[in-house]
Amino acid sequence: MTSIRKLALITGASSGLGFELAKQFAQNGYDIAMSGSSERIFEAADAIRNLNVEAYPHQADAATYDGVESFWNFAAQLGRPIDSAVLNVGIAIGGAFADMELEDNLRIIAINITGTVHMAKRVVQHMLPNQQGRILIVSSVSATLPTPYETVYGPSKAFGFSFAESLREELRGTGITVTALLPGATDTDFHRNAGMATSAIGSSKKNDKTLVARQGFEALMNDEDHVIGGDEQTKQQAIANRTIPEPIKAARHAKQAKIPD
Ligand SMILES: NC(=O)c1ccc[n+]([C@@H]2O[C@H](COP(=O)([O-])OP(=O)(O)OC[C@H]3O[C@@H](n4cnc5c(N)ncnc54)[C@H](OP(=O)(O)O)[C@@H]3O)[C@@H](O)[C@H]2O)c1
């Protein structure tokens, strides 16, 4: 029998914010189609099923065209309307631009920008005939400042924020809403995975990932254009970033993100 629950699609949901967002949707009665690049996605799906909804895990690399397309085909062949899509998967790789391998810079763009545009295209074209849908794009507070020593990451997240706001306006009146989530530093494996565990930002106190996911979920449901994810200090910092000159924010971030020798 076909489930009467709504279906949400979430990229990068093996762990971290993607998994927390999957829990938010599950606790609100959604079935989840979820992707990750490792076998951990199957364990994550088991944990979601314990919340009494169905989970459909798919292992694919969001850095490749075929990987994005295979997750989309997997979700589409479920034959159900996708109510909500969370374009969450994203990576950073810390280090000075001049020292990093070009391949690593391009991998950030492939996942955070190219992969996001690719999945958004499939999702929007799926949702338009249904005249209904919600899209959450996970950007970052890094979208509001230059990010030296994560030189390509911040700009990739600025792309996500501007892309979300652009798409939102274009889709006004279609029944599809778009929301951007801009988390501050959050307690996931993100900075460790970026090789930045020993940087000041990597070892700083971080926002609670469950709080950030709940803020993102609620903003999506309330049709907000964007929400800052994190505590009051994080929100105040994001507001201050609107008026602080770029060179000042850049110098501050360099100190935070530089990996000690
Ligand atoms: N944590 C923060 O401080 C922070 C702050 C602002 C914004 N964000 C944004 O939040 C989003 C989620 O980050 P996070 O903190 O949850 O990071 P994370 O803890 O590193 O988790 C990354 C998730 O993405 C999956 N993933 C990684 N590479 C993938 C690939 N090539 N293909 C498919 N899945 C892949 C991982 O699963 P597998 O291991 O199975 O691949 C994992 O589920 C990102 O877009 C990030 O930019 C994070």
For 210-257, how does the pLDDT look when each residue is reduced to its tens digit (9 = 90+)?
Answer: 999 999 999 999 999 999 999 999 999 999 999 999 999 999 999 999
Is 1's pLDDT higher than 60? no
pLDDT band with cut points at 50, 70 and 90 for residue 93: very high
b/e map of 69-87 (b: 16 or more CB within 10 Å)?
Answer: ebbbebbeebebebbbbbb
Alpha carbon distance 254, 162 (integer Å): 23
Is 191's pLDDT higher than 90? yes
Beta bridge partners of 133: 176
Is 87's pLDDT higher than 90? yes
Alpha carbon distance 171, 186 (integer Å): 30
CB-based contact 85:9 (threshold 8 Å): yes
259 secondary structure, DSSP code: P
Interacting residues of 174 by C-beta distance below 8 A, sequence separation 6+: 128, 131
Q: Is the pTM of this model over 0.95?
A: yes
Interacting residues of 85 by C-beta distance below 8 A, sequence separation 6+: 8, 9, 10, 119, 120, 123, 127, 133, 134, 135, 136
Segment 137-149 mean pLDDT:
98
Minimum-distance ligand 1 atom for the alpha carbon of 14: 43
Domain spanning 7-257: CATH superfamily: NAD(P)-binding Rossmann-like Domain (3.40.50.720)
* Distance between Cα 173 and ligand 1 center (Å): 32
CB-based contact 115:123 (threshold 8 Å): no
Residue 118 identity (one-letter amino acid): H
pLDDT score at 106: 98
pLDDT band with cut points at 50, 70 and 90 for residue 261: confident
* Distance between Cα 64 and ligand 1 center (Å): 16
- HSE-up of residue 200 (Cα within 13 Å, Cβ side): 8
Segment 62-67 mean pLDDT:
98
User: Catalytic residue among 30, 56, 149, 153, which?
Assistant: 153
pLDDT score at 2: 60
Decide if 153 is catalytic. yes
* Distance between Cα 211 and ligand 1 center (Å): 16
Segment 27-47 mean pLDDT:
98
Alpha carbon distance 117, 247 (integer Å): 29
Q: Is the CB of 111 under 6 A from ligand 1?
A: yes
Q: Is the CB of 145 under 6 A from ligand 1?
A: no
pLDDT band with cut points at 50, 70 and 90 for residue 108: very high
Residue 225 identity (one-letter amino acid): D
- pLDDT, tens digit, 9 for 90 and up, residues 51-61: 999 999 999 99
Segment 185-203 mean pLDDT:
96
Segment 6-33 mean pLDDT:
98
pLDDT score at 122: 98
Q: Is the CB of 63 under 6 A from ligand 1?
A: yes
Is 186's pLDDT higher than 70? yes
Instruction: Please give the C-alpha separations between residue 148 and each of 81, 226, 233, in angstroms, as whole numbers.
Output: 41, 24, 22
Segment 95-99 mean pLDDT:
97
